[in-house]
Amino acid sequence: MKRLQQIRMRISPATRESGFSLLEIIFALAIFAGISLVVMSLRNSVGIMESLVSQKLQSQQDTAQALQILTTDIRSAGPSSIGAYPIDAASTSSFSFYSDIDRDGVFDRVRYFLATSTIKRGIITPVGNPLVYSTSTERITTSIANVVISTSTPIFSYYDPAYTGSEQSLPIPINLSQIRAVKVSVYVGIKATSTQQTLFFTQTMVIRNLKGT
């Protein structure tokens, strides 16, 4: 018994009280939980930013490619294969013209038009003998998706022979015989979070076959 008392006396109070109290454990767990929440929040924010950047890059690439095709189509506009005027119809939301898009010597009827939130491209290849452009054979594909409609900026604007870059566009209704240049302006929406961002694209092209007329 005396031996046991001697051993107990050798244990200092500091040694006997060196363990963590319940309050200290709860406090440490709270700190750990807070740090974990901050880390998870940062990871989510980084993921959202990466997604937004990726969508922006993809949208820029897709829209730039679509505008390049549109530009080539319009610049190459010319009389139809049955002798019709190069431009078929023009408005602020659609543009129809004739162009040899596949370089086979036959001019297709090309139509770019807004359908809800998408700019579509319609192609009619003349068939028959004599040749006929039949609307029932029009092939429609998507050109630019996720278009955000602007009430102040028309998708298609048209300019007369005096156009040098700063003139006003032709008034509505548009005189087709006055069109020498076409400007395309489009807002494309990107939604990676609860809010939507928009990218603006614009391109102006001169119709080669009408430039000197």
Over 70: is that where the pLDDT of 51 sits? Answer: no
115-171: pLDDT as tens digits = 999 999 999 999 999 999 999 999 999 999 999 999 999 999 999 999 988 889 999
- Give CA–CA dist 13/34, Å, rounded: 34
Residue 126: CB partners within 8 Å, gap ≥ 6?
80, 81, 82, 106, 107, 108, 109, 132, 133
180-202: pLDDT as tens digits = 999 999 999 886 656 678 889 99
Report angle CA 206, 203, 134 to the nearest 5 degrees. 65
- Give CA–CA dist 94/116, Å, rounded: 12
Could you tell me the pTM of the whole model? 0.74
94-121: pLDDT as tens digits = 999 999 999 999 999 999 999 999 999 9
Place of tokens 């200092």: 12
Q: What pLDDT does residue 20 have? A: 63
| pLDDT confidence band for 4 (50 / 70 / 90) | very low
- Give CA–CA dist 44/142, Å, rounded: 33
8 A C-beta contact, residue 127 and residue 120? no
Over 60: is that where the pLDDT of 210 sits? Answer: yes
8 A C-beta contact, residue 109 and residue 124? yes
8 A C-beta contact, residue 90 and residue 104? no
Tell me if residue 196 falls in helix, strand or coil. Answer: coil
Q: What pLDDT does residue 197 have? A: 83
Q: What pLDDT does residue 7 have? A: 47
Of 74, 81, 146, give the one whose Cα is nearest residue 115.
146
22-38: pLDDT as tens digits = 776 777 777 777 777 77
| pLDDT confidence band for 21 (50 / 70 / 90) | confident
Place of tokens 């602007």: 150
- Give CA–CA dist 8/12, Å, rounded: 8
